[in-house]
Amino acid sequence: MTSADTSTATTPTLMVVDDEDMVLRSIANLFELESEYRVLTFASPREALETARRERVDCVISDFLMPEMDGLEFLKALKDVSPNVPSILLTGYADKENAIKAINDVHLYQYLEKPWDNDYLRLVVRNAIGHKSLEQALSERLHELDRALHDRDTFRRTAEGLEAELRLAEEVQRSILPQSDLTDPHYRFFSRYYPTGQLGGDFYDVAFAHPGRFHAIMADVAGHGAAAALGTMLVKVLFTDIRQRDDGCDGMLCDMNERLHYLLPTTHFVTAFVVRADAEARELVAASAGGPHPILFSRDPARPVEQWVLNGLPLGAFDSAIYRRPEKVSRPFTSGDRILLYTDGLLDTDVDHSESVDPTEIVRTIEDIRHLDGNDLLDRLAESRGIGERKLPDDVNLLLIEAV
């Protein structure tokens, strides 16, 4: 047995089996000189089988007439050891009929009559090895495909499980918004919640100290998804807890800021706007933590529609922030007066942001519809922003409060 040294796995291996040394040498010379193949030659078919058990073979050339066993017996035995090796049979003229009969038995790749033509043999071996490598590539792809389909299905199941939890989380999130219609002898409340179908950071709440006096908050936890949604829970709890003290709005935001700064992950923050209504004082008091400026207006067309411009630092970003403002933070709020609190989703209602508007656009829209009843007004406002016609990039929350 002669062989080129053990070479890399990518070099195709050609096995040649013939009892005549001259044949082995001439074929080995041909391929060693003119190809990249690694050539293994055997005078004994048995030894060749032994080697095929241990090593990968990509093509085999076998003589027909050999003393130990004939070429067909050898190729049949080789099929058991290494089923996918294409085989080429060298036959004398007299054995050709036998070779032809055996084509199907051993799935012979091709047979060549001795004496063979070197060019032709080279072409046949090239094709045989090409064939083998195609089969190899195919079986690798089949494996990969199996794995990919399996991964995909596993992933899909995981996704379905997570999806279900997401729906549940969404329900929970929705449940923290005021559930029943808010009623008070002095105020009427109208609200809308347009979800994106994903978890978000929008949140609003109204909390009464007693009839005629309440705090309302419109908040947006930065970011989307589960983290933002969990943030809204925190804001709800803090808001419910702190408003018990019924301070002014700036004190409330101070308190919320301190606790949120402690509780929220460092990169998270909350924008909010808080108002406190008092029916006795017939006024609204406000404080801002960077939330959108609410819009103040009245059914009375003589009063202007205006933004309540009040600025402040977002909650949770800095360890101590002051929300007391030098400017006036109260406004008269008497019969027929209204305030619209909203989240910034209202300004940006389509996914490619081509419909982004300035708050002054909302002011103009309200100028046209301020006379409408609360529910109609909110519906018309939503309609004017294309809500309901397209997929929203962000949740939209609206809260309209009207003094009776």
Partner 1 sequence: MSENGSFVVAIVDDEPMVTQSIKNFLSLETDYEILSFNSPQEALETLKDRPVDVIISDYLMPDINGIELLLQLKEIQPQATRILLTGYADKENAIKAINDVGLYQYIEKPWENEDLKLIIRNGIEKRVLLRRLADKVQELDKASAELKGVYSDLLKAFK
224 binds partner 1 (CB under 8 A): yes
| Position among 123, 168, 322, 404 found at the interface with partner 1 (CB under 8 A) | 123
| Position among 53, 141, 245, 390 found at the interface with partner 1 (CB under 8 A) | 141
Instruction: Provide the b/e sequence for 138-170 (b: ≥16 CB within 10 Å).
Output: eeeeeeeeeeeeeeeeeeeeeeeeeeeebeebb
92 binds partner 1 (CB under 8 A): no
Quick one: 378 exposed, middle or buried, by C-beta within 10 A (0-12, 13-18, 19+)?
buried
| Position among 28, 52, 121, 124 found at the interface with partner 1 (CB under 8 A) | 124
100 binds partner 1 (CB under 8 A): yes
| Position among 211, 225, 301, 304 found at the interface with partner 1 (CB under 8 A) | 225
Task: Give me the least distance between CB of 315 and partner 1, in Å please.
Answer: 22
CA 404 to chain centre: 48
Q: How far apart are CA 44 and CA 46, in angstroms?
A: 5
Measured in degrees and rounded to the nearest 5, phi and psi for residue 191 equal -140, 155
Q: How far apart are CA 308 and CA 281, in angstroms?
A: 19
Complex with partner 1: residue 147 or 364, whichever CB lies closer: 147
| Position among 44, 47, 130, 193 found at the interface with partner 1 (CB under 8 A) | 130
| Position among 142, 164, 309, 404 found at the interface with partner 1 (CB under 8 A) | 142
Q: How far apart are CA 336 and CA 333, in angstroms?
A: 8
Task: Give me the least distance between CB of 198 and partner 1, in Å please.
Answer: 5
Q: x/- string (CB under 8 A) for partner 1, residues 156-195?
A: x--x--xx--x-----------------------------
353 binds partner 1 (CB under 8 A): no
108 binds partner 1 (CB under 8 A): yes
Tokens of 244: 């018990």
Task: Give me the least distance between CB of 161 and partner 1, in Å please.
Answer: 11
The DSSP H or E segment spanning 326 is none
Complex with partner 1: residue 53 or 141, whichever CB lies closer: 141
- The amino acid sitting at 291 is G
Residue 211, SS3 per DSSP: coil
Choose among 180, 187, 176: nearest CA to 210: 187
Stretch that binds partner 1, among 15-23, 29-37, 137-145, 182-190 (CB under 8 A): 137-145
Choose among 249, 259, 370, 395: nearest CA to 310: 249
Q: Which residues contribute to the site for partner 1 (CB under 8 A)?
A: 96, 100, 103, 108-111, 119-120, 123-124, 127, 130-131, 134-135, 137-138, 141-142, 144-145, 148-149, 151-152, 155-156, 159, 162-163, 166, 198-199, 223-226
